Every structure is written in C-alpha cells, then in structure tokens.
Amino acid sequence: MNETIEQQKKTANVKIESKSTDKKQKNTEGRHVFEVEDLNLWYGSDQALYEVSMNVPEQQVTAIIGPSGCGKSTFLKTLNRMVEMVPIVKTSGDIKYRNQNIFGNNFQQEYLRTKVGMVFQKPNPFPKSVYDNVAYGPRIHGIKDKKTLDQIVEKSLKGAAIWDELKDRLDENAYGLSGGQQQRVCIARALAVEPDVILMDEPTSALDPISTAKVEELVQELKKKYSIIIVTHNMQQAARISDKTAFFLNGELVEFAETDDLFQNPRDKRTEDYITGRFG
Amino acid sequence: MDKGLQSEGNVNVQQMIEDKKRSKSLGEIIEKIIPWFLLLCAIVSVLTTAGILFTLLRESIGFFANVSIIDFYTGTDWSPWTGHYGVAPLIGGTLLITLIATLTAVPLGLMSAIFLSEYANDKARRVIKPILEVLAGIPTVVYGYFALTFITPMFQTFIPDLGIFNALSGGFVVGIMIIPMVASLSEDAMNSVPNALREGAYGLGATKFEVVFKVVLPAAFSGIVASIVLAISRAIGETMIVTIAAGATPNLTFNPTDSIQTMTAFIVQAATGDTTFGSTIYYSLYAVGMTLFVFTLVMNLIAQYISRRFREEY
Amino acid sequence: MLGQNEQGIKKRMEGRVLLNKILMVLFFLATTVGLVFLVLLFYRVLTQGIGYLNWNFITSFPAPYPEKAGLWAGVMGSIFLMLIVAVFAVIVGVSTAIYLEEYAKQNKFTDFIRVNIQNLAGVPSIVFGLLGLTFFVYMFNFGYTLIAGGLTMALLILPVIVVSAQEAIRSVPSEIKEASYGMGASKWQTIARVILPASIPGILTGTIIALSRAIGETAPLIIVGAATAIFTLPDSLLAKYTVMPIQIYNWTGRPQEEWQYVAGAGIIVLLAILLLMNSIAVIIRNKYQRRL
C-alpha cells in the first residue's frame, strides 16, 4: 500500500517538473479509475486547461482545490464529458476510464455517465417526488419492475443517509425539502445506478454548516464503496475529507499529492502561497 | 408506502443495466427517429409560408392572364360583377381605415404607454395593463357588432348625415383594437431605457414630462416606431370589423363618412357570394389577397428591421 | 442680476410643474379611453343580448324567426373545431419548439425557420383562409368541411403555440437538464421525462390562449366555407359545420333589429366561453409559477 502511494506521488511530481516531455509509465495494477494524460481544453479560442495529467485512485476521496476560474470544475466535468454540453468546447489529450478511452469513437457517453455519477453545486432534484427522483436513473436504463425499484430506492436513500428522514415522505415533491435534504436526495439519485465513481462539484457550497457536516460525513462513508472526486473551494474541507488533493491554478495542475503532504509541505511555491492564503 | 418497500436485497443495478442494454435497440431507434420527426414538424411552418406564396402567386398569375396587371393596379373602378378590376378603390379603402385607426391608436396608445411606464405606480400598472390587454383578446366579430350597433349611432348624433356603413366608425374601432399593441410594445421600449439616463435629467431639476419628452421618448424612439408599424400592419389585415361596419362599396375617397370597401372586406364578400371556382372573380380573390399580403409583409419587415437595430443600442 | 435670474427661474418652474400635472392627467385620461370603451362594449352587449339569452337559445338550431333561433350548431361546431385545432397545432407546434430549442444547430436553416415563424405570425388571418381554400378545400378535396376549417385554423395559431412552447421549454432550469444527462440519460429521455413534464404548465397556458384566439376567429372560416345555417351537428371530419362567430356575423348582418339582440345573446355566450378559457389559463399559470 505504502509503496504504491509513494510511486504515485513520484509520478505526479515528476510530471509537474518536466511537464509533458516524458511519457508517464503505465500503471499496470488497475488501481486507478481515471488516467488523464496531457489534457488540454478550449472554450472557443480560450484555453481553460493546459496539459493536465493525473491518475485518480480507486476507492479514495480525491479533492480538487484552487481559486475560482482555475479550471477545477471544468476538469471535473470533462471526466464524465458533461463539459461538452457547451457546444464550443474542444479537447486534446487522453482520458482513460478503467483503461477505456472516453473520447473513443465507440465509447458511449451514456455508458460513461452510468458508471460515473455526478452531484452538482446547487441541489438540483427534478420537480418530481422523492421516489421518482431516486428511481430516475434505474428507470431510464430500463428497470421497470416495481419491487426492484422499491429496493433500489430504499438502498440508495439509506446509502445517502436520508432514509430515516424521508421514508414516510417518498411521495412528496422533492422541491419541498430543505437544501441539505435535496442535496442528499441528489446523492441518493446518483447512487441508485450504483456507479463506480462519483463526481462532486462543490456539493456543499449552497448548504448551511449542519447540512455540510452531514454531507461530509456521508462522503467518508461512501468512499468504502465508491471512488470520489470532489471539487471544493474550501481548503479545510479538502483537508478534512480527502485522501489525495490536486491543486489547480490558471488551468494547470500545479501539484497532486497525498492530502497531508500537500498541506504540510507543499513542493511548489504557488501551492504554498495558495494554502497559506497569499492569493485566491 | 413504507411497507411497500422491500428490505434491502442483493440487487446488482449495474448488472441489470447491462442486461437491459442488450434489449435496448428499440430505444436507440427511437433516439434516431425522433429528431427527424421533430424536424418534419418544424418544416410544417416553412411549408405553410411556401403554400401561402405558392397559392397567392399561382392564382394571381391565373388572374392576370385574364385581366391586365396594369389595369389592375392603375384602374380606379372596382366592380368585378361587371368586369371592372381596378384595385385602387380597395387599396384606398384599406388605407383610409388604416389612417383613421392609426390616428386613434397612436396618440391613445402612446399616452397610455407613457402613463404606465413613467407615471403609474406598480399597483396601478398591475391592474390597468391586463385590462388593456383584454382589448386585444376580444373577437373581431364582436368589435364589428359594437361598431355597427353602437359607435355608428353614437357618431350619428354628432354627424347627422353619417351613413350606417362608414369608414369612420370602422377605422375608429380598429384603432381601439390595436391600442394594446402600441401601448404594450412602446411601454417595453420605454422600460428598457436605463434608469441612469432618467436620473441624470432629474438631477438637473427636470420635471417628469421633461424627462419623458427629452430623455425617454428619444431613447425609446425606434422601439416605439416599431410598435406603431406592427400595429399598422395589423390594421391593414383586419377583416371582420370593416366588413361589418365600413360597408361594401368600393369607393376611392378620403371622406371618412363614406361607405367604403377594404381589400379584406372584398375577399369576404366574394367568398360568401356565389363565386364559382375558376371564374375571374375567384382568381381576383387571390390577386387582392396577394396585394394585401405584400402590404403587411413590408410592414412586418420594416418593424423587424427597426427593432433589430433598436436592440443593438443598449 | 443674479436675484432677477433666480426669480425668472422660479416663475418658469411653477409653469413647468403645472404643465407636468396637466400632462399627467391627460395621460391618465388617455389610458382610461380603452378601459371605458371596454366597459361600454360589455354593457352594450349585455343589455342587447340578455333578453334573448336562455337555455333554449343555447340548445336550438338556427331558425328563420329571432325568437326560435339558437346557437347550438355553433357551440358544438366550435368545440369540434377546437379539438381538431388543438390536436394538430399542439403536436406540430410543441414538436417544432422542441426541435428549435433542443436539437437545432446554430445555422442558417435554423435562423430561417425562426424568422419564418415570426413572419407567419404577422400574416393576416384572412390570407390563411385563402391558403386553406386552395389546399384543403380544393386540392385535397375536403370541401367545406370540419377538417378543412380545423387544419386552416391550426396553421393560423401554430406560430403562437410554437413561441409559447419555446418560452416554456427555455424556462426549464438547466440544472435539472444537467442532472438528467449526468445520470446517463439520452437526449430524448431527458426531453420526455424531465423537460416536457416541467414545461407542461407553460405549454398548456400558451395553448389555451392560442385556442381562445382561434375560437373567436371568423374571417378565415368564412373563406373556407363554414356554413351559416346548419341543422345537424357534425358527425364526421368531413361534415359541414358552423361556428359561433359565423352565426353571430350572420345575425349581425340582418336588417331587422331583433336579430341584433340575437347576435348580442350569441356574443354573451362567446365571451363567457373566452372568459372561462382565459381564467383556466391564469389559474394554471399562477398555480405553477409558485412551484418553480
């Protein structure tokens, strides 16, 4: 275990020093859910990501931090190709999900998004009942059997630690719930298709402190089963909940390391400036 | 609900999704067909325009094979049942109605817009605006009835020799009908004038009407003009009010107390009469219809041109 | 010197303030002209028509005597016609709106469709009558029938439905669209399960308002040959028919004064139906505006 971590740290750091010149060695152990290599991304003619390369470990929490506009959300949305909903987006480079190229011709977006769930910045339940919200994913993928759906809904709500609060309110419109409850319903909705990876885009930025604490607790619980990538502008949050942390600045991946390492002895001056609050 | 849910079983959702995927080909077919069906529906509106152009042009050409196009546009006698096809009286009738309607609607509509946008408080605006909009929702046949049975008798008390059918009451009621168009579109234009401009003038000690006339109206000018042009286009195409109240006498006159006939009223008259399919009168419907169409199209294009330019200003 | 100047300004100031007050009153009066007109119209129609308005009037067929004439053929004809218009215009209109909002690429052809719809909305209704006469009555050989009238009216209100459906679809928050795509839903699944359900109140409101415009339309139906007097209810799409505004128009045009009262009674019924439709639209709008 320790060895692999050391190795990852090394690969990450090597790349930062010598950018994309030398090709990263293949990780053969399959312990990465994502392998990103030389990713560039443009909105029209504005480049938003520069030569990003990083490996996202399995069943850990990976936090992405950085000042607003540094490309962290863009990077996250590239992983499930949601970024392409903006029609002017162009990318270059490679992203492999479990050794499959997600930009490949015969790789389906819908399949990727079934494997890679997403929780958004603002709670965004559908204007439907709690039950229909959670059952949405299984239903669109063809699961119609009522008993099966019942099981899935219960399991997912339990997984999102909100079953006890909502088990008698499954028919209520999700819009009537509090913000924190809505966000956990959205997490349950993402869990319902039992994804492999869960992307979280500043999931607590619209929540009050108590709800935030609940969601953070939940993240800890979820990493036992899922690989989680979480974007946050809150450094304390990253320090509290993540195993590894990536620091983005102006579209570049500046540093990617064990969370404790990154916060306690950052290797890059810019990382140090950021975490000590000198800018951003 | 609670009891309906099974206790946690061993459901492997991803596995189930994989299984379903194999039988998903129907879904994929739907996914491919739907955009084409939607596109087809979107094309219906294009076909409608094409159909309008096609029918107006084809039947008009049929008409001009029998009646010289020069006689049609230069002749001043419109009596199709005796073979005279000079469209000038119908155009004249339409223009007379439009003129009266514009003279009614523009001052009233503009003043309403100024009142609503600059003077009225929020509460008054919320009451008055929807009521004004009701004017635009009254069926035109009801307006026609009202013009014939109420407005004309009322006007007759001031103008004793006013006939039962006359351009004045028809045009006036058309004008009332288009007030909401002028008022609400002009009000939108005035509302989009930035408040900073108004504040600049107030800061110099200007009164409200000075702000309205020297700042708001000039800034909203093109939007106001566009609203007027659109309203005029609407008046040109109005049918039932003028058919009921303005008469059926093609008459090249600018005396508003006369009975006249508009292009639209002729089309109704010819369609309700015993017009045989394929006769010259039948074709004349389309020649008149095409003239009408060109009038309104030009007006609409002018309005669009003005409001496009207007949008660029802010 | 300065004092004199100031006095001049003060004097003119009084004039300006007075003028401002006068103009405000004038603008207010101008605003009330439309309102007064509306009140007069309703009052006039009520007083003229109320005497002839009774259950018999609504449930009778046309008759040569004012006391026996009725609106039944028109009421039922209008309802049947609106059903055809609604089915056709909603399917085509909402589909067009979905295409334009969700599928169409930004190109010349899409712009062309948009501009075309905008222009179509400005074409006088009577020209749609001529379109229907050429195509539905003669070319498709439907004759002067319900289906010919229904299709003509559907094309007439199509632009209104498209524009209101576009607005409704556009107002669906992009967050919930993203949520759906993020679950791996396909485009059509997202439209059918998220976007359309969320925009149905808006689409419904727009449709009712468009239909309330169609139910009062007269001119195009005269051209495509809605009958003026008819003594049976339409029993098929290819049946002859009449509608309320046509009957009202026909009665208005008769010289005997009694027929004007009959027309007035018909107008009361027509306006009542319009009021009902618009109230439903307002209720739907208010109920769902609070939701989203």
Do A140 and A187 fall into the same domain?
Answer: yes
Query: Given an 8 Å threshold on Cβ–Cβ distance, is B5 in contact with A151?
Result: yes
Residue at A260 is within a domain: yes
Q: Does A106 touch chain B (CB under 8 A)?
A: no
Does B8 score more than 50 pLDDT? no
- Return the closest-CA partner of residue B226 out of B117, B299, B313: B299
Do A130 and A140 fall into the same domain?
Answer: yes
Do A133 and A260 fall into the same domain?
Answer: no
Residue at A274 is within a domain: yes
Residue at A50 is within a domain: no
- Counting one residue from A and one from B, how many pairs have CB atoms under 8 Å apart? 58
Residue at B32 is within a domain: no
Do A263 and A201 fall into the same domain?
Answer: yes
CATH number at residue B98: 1.10.3720.10
Query: Given an 8 Å threshold on Cβ–Cβ distance, is B8 in contact with A155?
Result: yes
Query: Given an 8 Å threshold on Cβ–Cβ distance, is B139 in contact with C216?
Result: yes
Last residue of a domain, one of A167, A194, A221: A194
Which candidate in B97, B146, B279 is best for mutational testing of the C interface (most C CBs within 10 A)?
B146
The Cα–Cα gap between A166 and A156 comes to: 12
Predicted confidence band at A10 (pLDDT cuts at 50, 70, 90)? Answer: very low
A23 conformational bin, left if phi > 0, alpha if psi -120 to 50, beta if neither = beta
Predicted confidence band at B36 (pLDDT cuts at 50, 70, 90)? Answer: very high
B137, C59 in Cβ contact below 8 A? Answer: no
Does B28 score more than 90 pLDDT? no
pTM score, whole prediction: 0.86
Query: Given an 8 Å threshold on Cβ–Cβ distance, is A143 in contact with B20?
Result: yes
Do A273 and A207 fall into the same domain?
Answer: yes
Does A25 score more than 60 pLDDT? no
The Cα–Cα gap between B167 and A213 comes to: 76
Residue at A44 is within a domain: no
Residue at B39 is within a domain: no
Q: Which amino acid is at B246?
A: A
Total of domains in chain A: 2
pLDDT digits (tens), chain C, 292 positions = 556 677 888 888 888 888 888 999 999 999 999 999 999 999 999 999 998 888 888 888 888 888 888 899 999 999 999 999 999 999 999 999 999 999 998 889 999 999 999 999 999 999 999 999 999 999 999 989 999 999 999 999 999 999 999 999 999 999 999 999 999 898 999 999 999 999 999 999 999 999 999 999 999 999 998 777 777 888 888 889 999 999 999 999 888 888 999 999 999 999 999 999 999 988 888 887 654 4
pLDDT tens-digit map of C270-284: 999 999 999 998 888
Q: Which domain holds residue B91?
A: 74-311
Do A167 and A200 fall into the same domain?
Answer: no
Residue at B19 is within a domain: no
Residue at B79 is within a domain: yes
Q: What angle do CA C228, C233, C239 make, to 5 degrees?
A: 75
Residue at B67 is within a domain: no
Query: Given an 8 Å threshold on Cβ–Cβ distance, is B140 in contact with C98?
Result: no
Q: Which domain holds residue A262?
A: 1-18+57-82+196-280
Do A240 and A260 fall into the same domain?
Answer: yes
Q: Which of the residue ranges B193-202, B298-307, C123-132, C180-189 has the most confident prediction, judged by mean pLDDT?
A: C123-132
Give whole-number Cα distances, B169 to B98, B144, B254, B265, C256, in Å: 12, 9, 14, 15, 21
The Cα–Cα gap between A209 and A219 comes to: 15
Do A254 and A174 fall into the same domain?
Answer: no
Query: Given an 8 Å threshold on Cβ–Cβ distance, is A170 in contact with B1?
Result: yes
pLDDT tens-digit map of B124-152: 888 998 888 899 899 999 999 999 999 99
The pairing of strands A46-57 and A32-43 is: antiparallel
Predicted confidence band at A30 (pLDDT cuts at 50, 70, 90)? Answer: very low
Subunits with 3+ C-beta pairs closer than 8 A to B: A, C
Total of domains in chain B: 1
The pairing of strands A89-97 and A32-43 is: antiparallel
Residue at B28 is within a domain: no
pLDDT tens-digit map of B238-266: 999 999 999 888 988 888 999 999 999 99
Q: Does A109 touch chain B (CB under 8 A)?
A: no
Residue at A271 is within a domain: yes
Structure tokens at B310: 């207007």
* d(CA A154, nearest CA chain B) in Å: 7
Do A1 and A67 fall into the same domain?
Answer: yes
